[in-house]
Amino acid sequence: MDDIAILGAGMHPWGKWGRNFTEYGVKAARDALSDAEVGWDEIQFVSGANSVRCGYPGYVSGSTFANALGFTGCQLASSYAACASGATALSIARAQILAGVCDVALVVGAETTPKGFFAPNAGERHEDPDWLRFHLVGAANPTYFALYARRRMALYGDTPEDFAAVKVKNSRHGVFNPNARYTKEYDADDIANSPMVADPLRLLEICATSDGGAALVVSSLEWAASRGATDPVRVSGISTVGPTYPNSVIELPYLASDSWAAAGDETMTFKDNIAARAYEEASVSPGDLDFAEVYDLSSAYELDWYEHIGLCERGGAAALLRAGDTALGGRIPVNPSGGLGAFGEAVPAQAIAQVCELVWQLRGEAGHRQVEGARVGLSINHGMFGHGSSVICTR
Amino acid sequence: MAAVEGLFTLDADEPRLIGGRARSRGSYFFPKALAGSDPACLGDEIDEVLLSRTGRLWSFTTGEYAPPAPYVIPGDEFEPYVVAAVELAAESLVVLGQVVSGVSAKELWVGMEMVLVIDVLYSDDDHDYLVWKWAPAGQSENGEG
């Protein structure tokens, strides 16, 4: 797969601002354009990541953001893939660029979130797994995160203290991130003293819902070179794969896992597949990574990702954590941005924000959270119902 | 009455989940409506089947805070509850469900045998709305038939 260039990155700080999501997207877009030294009137394609919590303008985010920046007649797309929306929007921009449909594009996503648990859409839908899991089981998102955490404890001997140590680590990283919502450094006692939400996970270990916006300016390598960017950060791989049957892990929002009765035991789970495709496209392997941004929807969930992206064998994640390998200064820092633990989740912006961190790290512009000498970074997450999302950037 | 029709039987003695099974391929699905996720089942007939009533606890957790609608809080005040994911051996799949009230998470361990029971999810003036729940095997009398 050919690379494209990332010329600019921009974010609106995460928080609970309660303002129109368009504002966050516009701020992020203007910062990305300024960072890229590209004029808005030069953008040939806008790829918006949709919000489903901000009314109709959220469903047509490409148009909404283009309108707010000033309609120039450029081409637009709007896409939704839950938490994977940002990677999907980036993948569409890459396809347009590599197909020669456009040279330079803006990718943008933003959201204003309500307080508390994410809830399904209103109405009564007996065939919608997202409706059924709330109605029949009371299974909110943290229910699933906690099932995975408990499973780790049973299979691998991970402890609640390990999970808390993930949050402590990420909070130390987030202190140095001006775009993070939470910049307090937590210790193990803070976490142990926070209320239990879904045993074994406590409130400080579960990702909050946040407002925020993030944007990227991307182009062909030729166009980048024509603007003097001869050594830009490159997008070398994007994975937007869905699951491969049978996935034996029970995924949000389903009531049951796939059955492996006919297909045999699982060899790869969905989350393994997401990373595998990104590595394949980018022609890199886990050993080439200098750092990773992974979707720590809960503290324990970050440990699952270490294994899915191949930093260690299954069951080996807690040992990496305990050795300090995944902290800043360690062998392979994970979530140098502070991750979701420091940001909370602004769904359509989050995958784009992960890539913003890849850009700043690979440029050496990440300040006190800089991973020294970073040349290869991976971001990964997944959207509910089965949208994979992973981006590998290189320089 | 069932809180949602078609997902489980109301057999008082031997309640079962209603799933789907691909006739040739042999894959199972729950609910049946999700049949199709196995690409090898394309064109296969999906038969309605009753799933095993017992399985091993795959994992479990608690709900310490009231989830949003469409969850209906039974009674006047929210009470924390336990959620189990149970692996059914014959069907080779894992199914969620609440654990019957009166069983604490401290009494559970991954790998223990669980049994399906029918219990009240919530009630109004006219009906008890029933759902499947999991109970530790040997304690199934905790569930109301």
Does residue A150 belong to any structural domain of this protein?
A: yes
Question: In angstroms, what CA-CA distances link A200 with A143, A145, A148, A269, B41?
Answer: 10, 10, 10, 23, 38
Q: Measured between beta carbons, which residues in chain A are less than 8 angstroms from residue B69?
A: 119, 134
Strands A45-49 and A104-111: parallel
Whether A110 and A136 share a structural domain: no
**Encoded tokens for B56:** 């091993």
Q: Are A140 and A131 in contact (CB under 8 A)?
A: no
pLDDT digits (tens, 9 = 90+) for A11-21: 999 999 999 99
DSSP letters of A304-315?
Answer: HHHHHTTSS-TT
Whether A254 and A293 share a structural domain: yes
B68: nearest CB among A134, A198, A254: A134
Query: Cβ contact (<8 Å) for A147 and B95?
Result: no
pLDDT of residue B142: 45
Q: Are A112 and B20 in contact (CB under 8 A)?
A: no
pLDDT of residue B145: 36
Whether A56 and A147 share a structural domain: no
Q: Measured between beta carbons, which residues in chain B are less than 8 angstroms from residue A140?
A: 63, 67-68
Q: Which residues of B53-66 are buried (b: 16+ CB within 10 A; e: fewer)?
A: bebebbbbbbbbbb
Residue A71 at interface with chain B, using a CB cutoff of 8 Å: no
Q: Measured between beta carbons, which residues in chain B are less than 8 angstroms from residue A53?
A: none
Q: Which residues of A246-257 are buried (b: 16+ CB within 10 A; e: fewer)?
A: bbbbbbbbbbbb
Does residue A291 belong to any structural domain of this protein?
A: yes
CATH number, residue A101: 3.40.47.10
Query: Cβ contact (<8 Å) for B70 and A245?
Result: no
Does residue A85 belong to any structural domain of this protein?
A: yes
Spatial neighbors of B28 by CB under 8 A, at least 6 apart, are: A259, A261, B19, B20, B21, B49, B51, B91, B92, B93
Whether A222 and A191 share a structural domain: no
Query: Cβ contact (<8 Å) for A250 and B69?
Result: no
Local structure of residue B60 (DSSP, 8 states): E
How far the first Cα of chain B sits from its last, in Å, is: 12
Residue A99 at interface with chain B, using a CB cutoff of 8 Å: no
Residue A264 at interface with chain B, using a CB cutoff of 8 Å: no
Domain boundaries, chain B: 52-139
**Encoded tokens for A391:** 């981006």
**Which of A115, A117, A136, A148 is the best residue to mutate to test the B interface, defined by the most B CB atoms within 10 Å of its own CB?**
A136
Does residue A124 belong to any structural domain of this protein?
A: no
Give the separation between CA A345 and CA B130, rounded to whole angstroms.
Answer: 35
pLDDT of residue A38: 98
Give the nearest chain B residue to A142 (CA atoms).
Answer: B63
Whether A40 and A94 share a structural domain: yes
Does residue A216 belong to any structural domain of this protein?
A: yes
Give the nearest chain B residue to A155 (CA atoms).
Answer: B110
**Encoded tokens for A335:** 């979530």
B96: nearest CB among A137, A197, A200: A137
Q: Are A63 and A45 in contact (CB under 8 A)?
A: no
User: Percentage of chain A surpassing pLDDT 90?
Assistant: 94
Whether A173 and A63 share a structural domain: no
**Residue A121 confidence class, pLDDT cut points 50, 70, 90:** confident
Question: In angstroms, what CA-CA distances link A36 with A64, A104, A232, A278, A363?
Answer: 22, 11, 10, 25, 13
Give the nearest chain A residue to B24 (CA atoms).
Answer: A262
Residue A138 at interface with chain B, using a CB cutoff of 8 Å: yes
Shortest Cα–Cα distance, B10 to chain A (Å): 15
Query: Cβ contact (<8 Å) for B4 and A136?
Result: yes
Give the nearest chain B residue to A248 (CA atoms).
Answer: B93
Does residue A335 belong to any structural domain of this protein?
A: yes
Tally of domains in chain A: 2
A259: nearest CB among B27, B81, B85: B27
Query: Cβ contact (<8 Å) for B93 and A146?
Result: no
Residue B60 sits at the vertex; the CA angle it makes with B56 and B66, to the nearest 5 degrees, is 140
Q: Are A104 and A370 in contact (CB under 8 A)?
A: no
**Encoded tokens for A65:** 């953001």
Give the separation between CA A395 and CA A376, rounded to whole angstroms.
Answer: 7
A259: nearest CB among B28, B62, B97: B28
Question: In angstroms, what CA-CA distances link A392 with A218, A375, B143?
Answer: 14, 11, 51
Give the nearest chain A residue to B106 (CA atoms).
Answer: A199
Whether A256 and A218 share a structural domain: no
Q: Are A71 and A43 in contact (CB under 8 A)?
A: no
pLDDT digits (tens, 9 = 90+) for A200-242: 999 999 999 999 999 999 999 999 999 999 999 999 999 999 9
Whether A221 and A275 share a structural domain: no
DSSP letters of A78-141?
Answer: EE-BTBTHHHHHHHHHHHHHHTTS-SEEEEEEEE---SSS--PPSS--TT-HHHHIIIII---H
Shortest Cα–Cα distance, A271 to chain B (Å): 17
B24 burial level (CB within 10 Å; 0-12, 13-18, 19+): exposed
A117: nearest CB among B34, B67, B105: B67
Q: Which residues of B77-101 are buried (b: 16+ CB within 10 A; e: fewer)?
A: eeebbbbbbbbbeebbbbbbbbbbb
Strands A376-383 and A104-111: unpaired
Strands B128-136 and A4-15: unpaired
Residue A124 at interface with chain B, using a CB cutoff of 8 Å: yes
Whether A270 and A380 share a structural domain: yes
pLDDT of residue B139: 63
Whether A301 and A184 share a structural domain: yes
Query: Cβ contact (<8 Å) for A137 and B98?
Result: yes
Q: Which domain holds residue A315?
A: 129-206+236-394
Whether A269 and A361 share a structural domain: yes
B68: nearest CB among A119, A149, A154: A119
Q: Measured between beta carbons, which residues in chain A are less than 8 angstroms from residue B58?
A: 147, 151, 250
Shortest Cα–Cα distance, A92 to chain B (Å): 25
Residue A258 at interface with chain B, using a CB cutoff of 8 Å: yes
CA A359 to chain centre: 14
Does residue A373 belong to any structural domain of this protein?
A: yes
Whether A163 and A311 share a structural domain: yes
Per-residue pLDDT of chain B (145 residues; tens, 9 = 90+): 999 999 999 998 999 999 999 999 999 999 998 887 889 888 899 999 999 999 999 999 999 999 999 999 998 899 999 999 999 999 999 999 999 999 999 999 999 999 999 999 999 999 999 999 999 997 645 444 3
Query: Cβ contact (<8 Å) for B96 and A256?
Result: yes
Residue A116 at interface with chain B, using a CB cutoff of 8 Å: yes
- Mean pLDDT for the stretch of residues A77-104: 98
Helix (H, G, I), strand (E, B) or coil at A28: helix
Q: Which residue has the higher pLDDT, B142 or A260?
A: A260
Give the nearest chain B residue to A253 (CA atoms).
Answer: B96
pLDDT digits (tens, 9 = 90+) for A303-342: 999 999 999 999 999 999 999 999 999 999 999 999 999 9
